[in-house]
Amino acid sequence: MGPTLDYLALAPELALVATLMAVLTADIVLPHAQKYWTAVLSVLGLTVTALPILFLLLSDEGTRTMLDGSYVVDDFALIFKGLFVAAGYIVILMSVSYIESDRYYQGEYYFLLLASILGSVVMASARDLILLFVGLELVSGPLFLLAGWRKGDVKSNEASLKFYLLGVLSAAILLYGMSFLYGLTGTVDFAGISEASERLSHTPAFIMAVLFVMVGFAFKISAVPFHFWAPDTYEGAPTPVTAYMSVSSKAAGFVGMLIVTYVAFPDASNIWGPALWIMAALTMTVGNLTALRQTNIVRLLAYSSIAQAGFMLVPFAVAGVSSDPDAIAAAFGATVTYIAIYTFMNLGAFAVVIAGARYTRSGDIDKWAGLASYQPGVALFGLIFFLSLAGIPPLAGWYAKLVMFSAAIGGGSVWTAVLAGIAAINAVIAFYYYARVVKAMWFDPVPEGHVAGKPEQSRSLQLALVITMLFVIAAGIYPAISAYFGDTVASIAGGG
């Protein structure tokens, strides 16, 4: 009498599982020389996974739920699944050259990465506590290990240790909160919780439960004061893994947060609204100001991704604080659009770091001086991504900033206006350190004693750069592309 599973809705997950298995067997079977096939296999697998997602998105016959409501495949879920697959695709492209050059175990690397992608894909449509928790653990488990992939390097060990310990601690706090949620509402699926949440919104236990859950996810998106792990882990971990962490695992954290706040306890916005407001303000400011002083480019990108998380939190917090419904829907749409654009911008930036590091042979920004003179291609990509992060038209970043600002201003209450003000100041500060990198690359003379690195550049890294660059420019000139993400998703804000 087993449960009725809607296999079409599960198609992406099934395809991913198939790829996982294929990669694993290939890794075992193939001799060391042909190990690169695992990469090809995983890329193929991801493209196959993308097909059902696109099909489901285009065939608009509404949301498909199964397992009595705990697993929902609606536009919101599909968009994020698509985003995770795309991000995974690009990260793998970036890591092919990186892994080969380090003589590491390729098979397992791709296996773990695909497992993490599977976790985030499941999270996107999870609508109950257990599935969400398992999805979350599936995302972060492999990442703990991937962070420490460069076994010989002490920094990589330290990165994985820090990430692991804090990850497990935040998971414990999350679980404690979930246990209380279950205790108070008696159910595990979000529909039930949201009904109960309305009457409970002032009981201390419920407040504790909600906030502990929020803390769990806040750790994932590295919001201040739970961000301390991010800079060290980003610097220590191998760069493609850092890219993946700063984009996909952060997006997974946001997905969790969005589902929990919008679907599980929309009426408890008086709790998580102000909390998010504080987190947004703190994250933006601390992220931006500390980024000003960074000398290592990866550490700068780490603090920059914290600051961007802060910017993403702004519309999120506005939705929590403001009252009128369509402002909330717009704000919700804004967050999703910002995440989509941020994904491509940041992946591109990290791809540039990988490509550039090959020539500058170090992470210090002053070592990157004069890159434009001997490597104009990479410098041009760097210019596009860093200025897009800064939010300069006609690159996609400006539309993200615009949508974020309009959501903040549209909020209507004094608090949202104050947040918009803080965001404006932060935008200017942010411009300064992005421009510093661009200035270094383009204007400063080449530091003496500089030896040009290996000239050849891996094909797949260039493909990754081109894909992200195309999206960033296309979305910049014709923002309807990223606007599509926001609009289709706004429906979920309307409730369950």
The interface with other proteins within residues 43-82 (CB under 8 A) comprises 67-68, 70-71
Q: Please state the closest distance from residue 125 (CB atom) to other proteins, in A.
A: 10
Q: Please state the closest distance from residue 247 (CB atom) to other proteins, in A.
A: 20
84 interacts with other proteins by CB under 8 A: no
Stretch that binds other proteins, among 48-56, 183-191, 306-314, 338-346 (CB under 8 A): 183-191
Q: Which of 18, 29, 51, 169 binds other proteins (CB under 8 A)?
A: 169
208 interacts with other proteins by CB under 8 A: yes
Q: Which of 80, 84, 110, 180 binds other proteins (CB under 8 A)?
A: 180
170 interacts with other proteins by CB under 8 A: yes
Question: Among 482, 364, 494, which Cα is nearest to 86's?
Answer: 482
Paired strand residues for 66: 71
Question: How far is residue 241 CA from its own chain's centroid?
Answer: 12
List, in sequence order, the alpha helices (H) in 322-457: 325-360, 371-374, 376-390, 397-410, 414-442
Contact 246, 237 (CB under 8 A): no
State how far the Cα of 272 lies from the Cα of 188, in Å rounded to an integer: 20
246 interacts with other proteins by CB under 8 A: no
Residues 293-322, interacting with other proteins (CB under 8 A): 293
168 interacts with other proteins by CB under 8 A: yes
Q: How many amino acids of this chain bind other proteins (CB under 8 A)?
A: 132
Paired strand residues for 73: 64
455 interacts with other proteins by CB under 8 A: no
Q: Please state the closest distance from residue 408 (CB atom) to other proteins, in A.
A: 9
205 interacts with other proteins by CB under 8 A: yes
Q: Please state the closest distance from residue 105 (CB atom) to other proteins, in A.
A: 5
State how far the Cα of 389 lies from the Cα of 387, in Å rounded to an integer: 5
Question: Among 208, 216, 269, 220, which Cα is nearest to 249's?
Answer: 220
Q: Please state the closest distance from residue 161 (CB atom) to other proteins, in A.
A: 6
DSSP string, 381-407: HHHHHHHHHHT-TTSTHHHHHHHHHHH
Residues 372-431, interacting with other proteins (CB under 8 A): 387, 392-394, 398, 402-403, 405-406, 409-410, 420, 424, 427-429, 431
List, in sequence order, the alpha helices (H) in 150-248: 154-185, 190-200, 204-220, 229-236, 239-244
262 interacts with other proteins by CB under 8 A: no
State how far the Cα of 269 lies from the Cα of 275, in Å rounded to an integer: 9
172 interacts with other proteins by CB under 8 A: yes
Pairing of strands 64-66, 71-73: antiparallel
Map tokens 């699926």 to a residue: 189
Q: Please state the closest distance from residue 208 (CB atom) to other proteins, in A.
A: 5
SS3 363: coil
Residues 359-378, interacting with other proteins (CB under 8 A): 361-363
Q: Which of 11, 20, 247, 331 binds other proteins (CB under 8 A)?
A: 20
